[in-house]
């Protein structure tokens, strides 16, 4: 009888322990880029709003004054276009987010 009670107790504890484990969660991230003056990233749109994905520094390999990934208007360094403007605003990206559905044949 003691053995049956012990087995039932162990099984009950295991069931409670396994039942209380949270299931895995896959974060969902925005399609739009979020950015600041140094980096761009995709912000989480699930309940874990502090999570980010694809965090990286801005790059401007084509030297057009905009980040090649998120299109953030970067300050032009010496050797840039001499302060010329394309008529856009200081930061064409606007509100800190940019839709990734942009035309690459501009």
Predicted local confidence at residue 4, as pLDDT = 80
Q: What is the pLDDT of residues 2-46, one digit of tens each?
A: 788 776 777 777 666 655 566 677 889 999 999 999 999 999 998
Single pTM value for the model: 0.51
Position 1 scores a pLDDT of 79
- Which pair of structure tokens corresponds to residue 19? 């039942």
Element (H, E) at 68: none
pLDDT tens digits, one per residue of 31-90 = 999 999 999 999 999 888 888 999 999 999 999 999 999 999 987 766 555 444 344 334
Q: Give residue 48's pLDDT.
A: 84
Which carries the bigger pLDDT value, residue 92 or residue 66? 66
Q: Residue 17's pLDDT is what?
A: 63
- Written as six digits, the tokens of 34 are 């979020």
Q: Is the separation of the CB atoms in 40 and 14 below 8 Å?
A: no
**Residue 53 DSSP class:** E
Contact 23, 42 (CB under 8 A): no
HSE at residue 28, side-chain half, CA atoms within 13 A, is: 3
């Amino acid at each position: 009888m003691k053995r049956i009670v012990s087995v039932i107790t162990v099984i009950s504890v295991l069931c409670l322990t396994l039942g209380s484990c949270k299931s895995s969660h896959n974060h969902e991230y925005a399609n739009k880029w979020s950015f600041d003056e140094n980096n761009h990233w995709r912000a989480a749109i699930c309940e874990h709003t502090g999570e980010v994905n694809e965090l990286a520094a801005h790059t401007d390999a084509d030297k057009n004054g905009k980040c090649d990934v998120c299109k953030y208007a970067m300050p032009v360094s010496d050797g840039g276009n001499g302060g010329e403007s394309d008529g856009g605003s200081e930061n064409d990206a606007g509100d800190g987010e940019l839709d990734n559905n942009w035309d690459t044949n501009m």
